[in-house]
Structure 1
Amino acid sequence: MKDNVELHPRGALLGLQSLQWMIFLLANTIAAPIVVGAAFDLPPSDVSSLVQRMLFVSGGVTLLQVFFGHRLPLLEGAAGMWWALFLTLAAVATGGDKGAVLQQLEMGLLAAGVVLVILSLLPIMARLRDLFTPLVTGVYLVLLVVSLTGSFFKGMLGVTRTGEIDGTVALLSLVVILLVLILSLKGRGLWRSMGPLIGIATGWILFAVCGFIPKETNADPTPIFALPKFFAWGAPVWDTGIVLTSVLTGLILISNVVASILVIARTLNVDVTADTYRRGLFGNGVGALLSGVLSCIGPVPLSVSAGFISTTGIRSKRPFWIGALLVFLSGLFPLVGNFFATLPSEVAYAALFVPFAQMMGFGIRDLMALVPSQRNLLVIGLSLMVGIGVMFLPPAAFASLAPWLRSVVANGLLVGLILCLLLEHVIFRENEKNNPASE
């Protein structure tokens, strides 16, 4: 690693930057358990417990990765594909079946974790690295941001909250976006680095003043300290279809691990080796195992970490791991978890809008660096058109498919990525000399 990654801020600056990483990880963590809890009709106490376990797992796996895994400042948060799998299976389950599905997902996560750990011990990471050329990573990043754009706008415009556009929510979200954008572009020094944190704090206060944060209604006393509960959804239950789907999800997420490491390495201008990817995959497998044991959503390295670093200019690893440690510890204190769970999702979406836009820019940058040959343009166009096209199909269009197949075919990001890999490496395969990733 180069020295610019290892420079250590001190004093108040270190504390503020660590707090910003903590808030950023929280903003990328709390939405998933809240949405999944609602999809499975979990009571408020179980949703709060799920948030606590997600904080523990996200912070813990991030620490594992930065010290023993890939050793890069990459946050670990709920994977979009795991999140989508939970929601898909919740949609097809009814009544008491939903509880059984959660137990089957525990087993699926455990199986996926075992497979990923085994793969990380095999000498295949160099080949996996070669699969993700700038063309593939560029298409992946564009599709990833596009797949989340609908959720962003539904949240920021108040559609998620009310079912229609809410002018007040939209205005408050716009204030947060403009504040983060202005600080990121015009701010200097500390102000520039604290843009997302200031945006989140400001938005949180504004939403509270406008009455958009519900008051605590749980009458049961909340303990100050509590260890996360093992198998909170019950003992794992084997279901062949869900196990196969979960293993496939874990295998596909290898692409996310590789692409995220690539993006963060380019952002920091550091060199990575095949061993970096191998350790990162091992950490991802351990994360899936831990998620199965602690009954939560499987984590994955978040590519948006690169956008956060680019937006804030924070390149040191010290505030990064301190922020992750704070999140990990907050998972041991239910009161802390309950407090951060009150962060409105609209504020999180608005504060993350600029870093995600930056990530879209990373994908476009990779694509613009390619030779604009007919072959490259065709691969890019087909992959994006098919992937985005699938995203526009209504869920009912896949109702006739088997659940395990539905979770794959209905995922536009996954379909577009698989098509891009096939076009790039099989159908329109080129010589190594045309692949900048091999340099």
Structure 2
Amino acid sequence: MSTEATGSSPPSFAHDLRDAVMWLVATVPAAFGFWVIAGELAGVQSGIVPSLLGASLAAMGLATLVQVVAGYRLPLFEGPAGSYLAAIAVLAAGSEPGNSGTDHRGLLVAAGVVILVAVTGLGDKLSQLLTPPVGTAFLLLTVVMVLPATISRAAGVDQPGPAVDSWLPALVVIAVALVARRVAVVRPYALLLAFASGVLAYLITADTGLQRASSNSVPGELFPWGAPEFGATVVLPFVVASLLGAFNSVATERAVAGAAEPGEPVRQSAQPGDGSRQRRGLLAHGATVGVTAALGNVLGNVPRLDSVGIGRLVGNPGVRPVGLAAVAMVAMAFLAPVTALLAGLPSALSAALVLILLGTMLYEGLRATLRLPSSFAGRWCSPPYSQQRSGDWRVIGSPSGWHWSRIRCCWAPDCDRGRRCFTSSRAVPTSGRVVALSLLTNVR
């Protein structure tokens, strides 16, 4: 919604800086745990974890910045993707320990697939190819394969020092997160509060304080995990992961575009069948996945529906705050003391954070499979109306997984005859603060 329509002046640069800090607080702590888990699955040795974190932080910042400037041009950030984490888990289950190069090779494959989807205009077809069972199965595969290792890390198994130094702070993290998510005022900061509480508990109970990792590496070296070599075992999982990632990009862009302009028709570029913004976003997604993989990133990013909740929390609908936050992410990635300090944090704390997120994904994935809730926040429809069937099921994407939604066709005057439209309805919260939007495309 424009500032002219509301009669208010644009936010000042100082307000944009403040809101950029809010974007950082809401995005980086949640992503940190996923980066550590992905690095362990990929076999990244502890001595080069700072390099991994620097590459991951730079990847998230660069991908977000490119999408804001040249891609979707929406207040939309890119964060860790469950589909790519699942591909890493699949490869880790059948490869030798320490074979971390496998994963950045896979991301290079994924980048090529996403760019191919963008060039050929297959974005609208992905919703037909990737059925609800495919999305739900891949989500549950991610959780099932990653959950055991995550629980072991949170409990301090095979970690140096007394086990209580690991599992007690992890227990504090989980308890604070569960309580904070039930309090509306602090719900957006639940993960940050939980992580800070866990660090405090660790400082109180552990014999030693936080340790800085001994590494001065920063992103910039090409292929730090080894020269890329491709094989079928690498290509196949990441082809599936990249298709799911591309579908997530298409769905999320439409959701955020609709949420950014409540009460107004979606612009033509956001509608199925045109897709100039969609193609730009997919090209930006594929390009940044490939570039950041070459710089050492092992976990791919996708546009996240968290952006809707964060944008409403911040109260600033512009792209400048999230763009400034992206610049700050990239700058932090090149500060060796920052990445070294992050790498020195107890691994059990990040594992506890990931355990919370995985538990949420598992719960919502099973609920989507068993209960099939029909609530929805938005709907797509297309004429001729006589060919639409109310009651069909389609999958919708969310930051925490895949959900089902029943098609509820909209009729005149809700829809303009002869073209697709988007109408808003009541919001459905997921993962505490995220507004899930049903995206129903190519209804027949």
TM over 0.5: yes
Higher relative contact order (CA 8 A, sep 6+): 1
Match for 1:216: what amino acid? Q
1:15 shift after superposition: 3.8
Pairwise CA distance, 1:287: 2.0
CA distance in 1, matches of 2:357, 2:96: 34
Which segments of 5 or more consecutive residues in structure 2 lack a partner in the other structure? 158-162, 381-388, 407-418, 424-439
CA–CA distance in structure 2, aligned partners of residues 364 and 312 of structure 1: 29
**Bigger strand fraction:** 2
5 Å matches for 1:361-372? 367=376
Name the residue aligned to 1:336. 338
Question: Cα–Cα, structure 1 residues 186 and 253, in superposed 2: closer, same or farther, change >3 Å?
Answer: closer
Cα gap change, 1:84 to 1:353, in 2 (>3 Å): closer
2:95 and 2:233 map into 1 onto residues whose CA distance is 14
Deviations 1:252-311 (A, max 9, x none): 321111122133233323633411211111111112211331232222112233233345
- The answer to whether the 8 A contact 1:31-1:345 is kept is yes
TM-score by length of 2: 0.66
User: 1:282-431, aligned counterparts within 5 Å?
Assistant: 282-296=283-297, 297-341=299-343, 342=345, 344-345=349-350, 348=353, 367=376, 379=393
CA distance in 1, matches of 2:208, 2:12: 35
Work out the CA distance in 2 between the residues paired with 1:318 and 1:212.
Answer: 44
Asked if residue 8 in structure 1 is aligned to residue 11 in structure 2, the reply is yes
Q: Using a 3 Å threshold, how does the CA distance of structure 1 residues 107 and 63 change in structure 2: closer, same or farther?
A: same
**Who is 2:118 aligned against?**
120
Q: What corresponds to 1:236 in structure 2?
A: 228
Partner SS, residue 108 of structure 2: helix
Name the one with the larger helix percent: 1
Deviation at 1:115, TM superposition (A): 3.1
- What is the aligned partner in structure 2 of residue 24 from structure 1? 26
Conserved 8 A contact 2:176-2:193: no
Shift of 1:435: 9.9
How far apart, in 2, do the equivalents of 1:157 and 1:113 lie?
31
Aligned 8 A contact 1:59 1:325 in 2: yes
TM-superposed deviation, 1:324: 1.4
Shift of 1:55: 0.8
CA spacing shift, 1:8–1:206, aligned 2, 3 Å: farther
Change (3 A) 1:321 1:369: closer
Closer, same or farther: CA 249–153 of 1 in aligned 2, 3 Å: closer
Matched residue, 2:250? 258
What residue is the counterpart of 1:178 in the other structure? 179
State the shift of 1:325 in Å.
1.1
1:334 CA drift (Å):
1.9
- CA deviations over 1:68-107 (Å, ceiling 9, x no partner): 0011222212221111211221121125xx43xx434433
Partner of 1:216: 211
Residue 161, structure 1, aligned to residue 155, structure 2: yes
Contact 1:66 1:74 in 2 (8 A): yes
Structure 1 position 6, deviation (Å)? 9.8
Is the Cα contact below 8 Å between 2:218 and 2:334 reproduced in 1? yes
Contact 1:231-1:293 within 8 A present in 2 as well: yes
Give the Cα–Cα distance (whole angstroms) in 2 for the partners of residues 110 and 28 of structure 1: 25
> By how many angstroms is 1:213 displaced?
8.9
* Alignment RMSD: 5.0
Q: Give the length in aligned residue pairs.
A: 376
SS of residue paired to 1:121: helix
Cα distance in 2 between the residues matched to 1:212 and 1:277: 52
**Which residue is 2:431 aligned to?**
none
Pairs within 5 Å for 1:68-79: 68-79=70-81
CA separation in 2, counterparts of 1:244 and 1:356? 24
* Cα distance change, pair 21–209 in 1 and its aligned pair in 2 (3 A): farther
Please give the secondary structure, in 1, of the residue aligned with 2:120: coil
Report the alpha carbon displacement of residue 235 of structure 1 after superposing the two structures with TM: 0.8
Equivalent position of 1:85 in the other structure: 87
Looking at structure 2, the residues matched to 231 and 278 of structure 1 have their Cα atoms a distance apart, in angstroms, of 28
CA contact (8 A) 1:233 1:295 kept: yes
Question: Could you say which residue in structure 2 is the equivalent of 1:424?
Answer: none
Q: Relative to 1, partners in 2 of residues 1:366 and 1:201: Cα closer, same or farther, differing over 3 Å?
A: same
* Residue number in structure 1 paired with 2:65: 63
| 1:300 counterpart SS class | strand
Instruction: Give aligned-pair identity as a percent.
Output: 18
Per-residue CA deviations over 1:199-227 (Å, capped at 9, x if unaligned) read 65455444544449963274x4x43x844
TM-score of the superposition, structure 1-length normalised? 0.67
- Residue aligning to 1:277: 278
Query: Which stretch has the larger CA shift, 338-347 or 85-94?
Result: 338-347
